Structure 1
Amino acid sequence: MTADRVVVTGMGPVSSIGVGLERFHEAALKSVSGIRPITSFDPSRLSVRIAGEVDLPESLAPSGRDRLADDRCTHLGMAATRLAVDDSGLDLTAEADGRVAVVIGTGIGGIGTWESNTRAVIERGERAMRPRFIPMAMLNALSARISLEYGLHGSVLTMVSACASGPDAIACAAMLIRSGEADVVIAGGADAPVVETIVGGFARMRALSVSDGDPARASRPFHTDRDGFVIAEGAGVLVLESLDHARRRQARIHAELTGYGRSSDAFHATMPQPDGSGARRAITSALRSAGLAAEDVAHVNSHGTGTPFNDAAETIALHSALGAAAPEIPVTANKSITGHCLGASGALEAIASIQAITSGLIPPIANLDRPDKQLHLDLVRDEPREADVHSVLTNSFAFGGHNVALVFGRMS
């Protein structure tokens, strides 16, 4: 039944490697890194001074009023939403009242606003705080802002599951459509964590790469010498619709969301389960949901953070879930150039996965001159790889043990 099928009709990537579908895809294929020295604040007191920062084009930058009224996370998320809605060709004013929903994921929301106002109240007192501090900083600020911007009266939800928040939102969107609650869902993730407290906090727990050479080479997923992730800001938003709805309006369909799986490690606050069993459960559930066998997977877009433990655990999970097919499936890792955008990363990787389907090109993993030979994966490197990418498995794992796997397929 087509009523149970969920398709992607719009996509909006906002990242350090590029804003908009064309720039994002071109940079991914050419391994153009967005990692460079931090410019948004003075990082001289920190041990890590590099990140992936977004350069919003003037056409998508907030106006003077919105710039003051919203946090940086909302600025990035609204830019991605406008790109996705424009790409979808949807006239949201013509949609049935209450049939368009919003589900946005974020790891830490308006953290920049929290940081600046906390400093202000400690140093100068209450009157130094922004009057809009609370609505700017609250985790549901972006979801609410999208609803206000477009006048949407359906469900407006915020998913908070750390680095799995974006794909968690996409999975939730599919559930809303399949249940009949919504015809259209604007879904994805956004985070703006390049602020002193967050960069310093991740550095303090030794999660970040301490490479002191070329910043563009610091993010090294699956490399023998990987030493941590590189933090970044960004947003990725998708427009999902029921197939019936998309066909009625004769929409262009990028791909179909065929399956999703979610699980919890229930193991540790920050460490992945070493045997990958939690991640395996999410992957297995996603493939079952999509009706795919392991050998049906044409490509894996990995979580691939570049931390020693995470890459190893994900590899074990892939071998466990995919069996003999695992070493034969080409794997990429977008974080090698975008950095890790926390709750936005999985949504951006969903967009990259769909672009691999539509273009037949798998982007390479950057900085992979010495792949870890113990991992036994077909790691795409050096050049884009031409392939019949009819289906993609994309993984996202997070602090707290959250695991989300999505499966996208070519529209048939």
Structure 2
Amino acid sequence: MTSKPIGVAVLGLGNVGSEVVRILTENAEDFEARIGAPLEIRGIAVRRVDGDRGVPAELLTDDPAELVGRDDVDIVVEVLGGIDIPRKLVLSALEKGKSVITANKALLAEYTGELADAAEKSRADLYFEAAVAGAIPVVRPLMQSLAGDRVNKVAGIVNGTTNFILSAMDETGADYAETLAEAGRLGYAEADPTADVEGYDAASKAAILASIAFHTRVTAGDVYREGISKITSDDLETAKSLDCTIKLLAICERIVTAKGKERISARVYPALVPLEHPLASVNGAFNAVVVEAEAAGRLMFYGQGAGGAPTASAVLGDLVMAARNKFYGGRGPLESKYAKLKVAPMGDILTRYYVSMQVADKPGVLATVAAEFSKRDVSISTVRQQGSGDGARLVVVTHLAADSALSETVASLEQLDVVVHVASVLRLEGTTV
């Protein structure tokens, strides 16, 4: 006897939505066997219903609100992108008791609390594995597999576009603008790459990871953010000489302040990473996330972080879970926000720094520069001078220092007569000295 079908509405038919529909259609019997009941697509919301979209025309609609409100829709899959329209649709679905699967990191990074409250009130499921790292399972391990552990740090490469650009710069020696253009030609970068290269995409994902890992609501606005647009081929060349590479990292961790208060840090920026660190070898458009927990130790998740099929894989994993809950009467995990930890300001964060500056090539420069670091208790680990004359370049690597002290040091260096300009300031992650 065939069980009553579970109705699915798909909002969006772009790269991800198309793959979701294709895989659902081609593997319908497998999904029914895994769930216990057949899944039926009730409709697909698109902006325009004209033209050949590769799906039955009768499934298409340009009225997503009507589709979400239909009585025969049990689960809503949101892969539209954007914030305002998806927010209204997802809230409407949750308020009606329908389960929601979304890949929308920007929406979740701003409105996780609102959506989670709506899901809890109506006893609906809200799943979002695909919102963080494409096909890589990170959300569910943090929410479920490590629910009995204490997570201290989550760090990783969560944006494929920037990782492709930095990897290509490192391999070829090309500059940023040239490599960005190549990324666009190959389809790795959008026509407007701002969200990727300036770190907004990674910051949204960091907010989601920090919220889950530390049982605290964190929004994108809480995340300190820097992008990669100022990284130069000289920076990457110097990184090699230091046995490092440069990666755009999303870092979420527990810290203890000087006053003994527990806080969390959520930040995104390009950083030097030692070549022996597991994240250093993650190249191209791949993503990787390293989780450090007290009992489990260090865990690493690696794989395709974007793309239609990989992201659809994560969406469909959530869909199976939500459908099983509908069929068996279960419920997915609720939001955990009991800890209510405060987010530490960036100035309180301790890390190491790489400072590159163009300097006048004359006696006393090193002593003058070193004095500015010493005034603010920023200890210098190594110093290298490259070139001579007008092209003299001084590279300083520090020991652990507070971000506020380093910022003050850089501001003072800019005022020195012997410093032509400070070219780059990058953090050094993956070391503790």
Larger radius of gyration: 2
TM-score range, shorter chain: under 0.3
Task: Decide which structure has greater strand share.
Answer: 2
TM-score normalised according to structure 1 size = 0.27
* Structure-2-length-normalised TM-score: 0.26
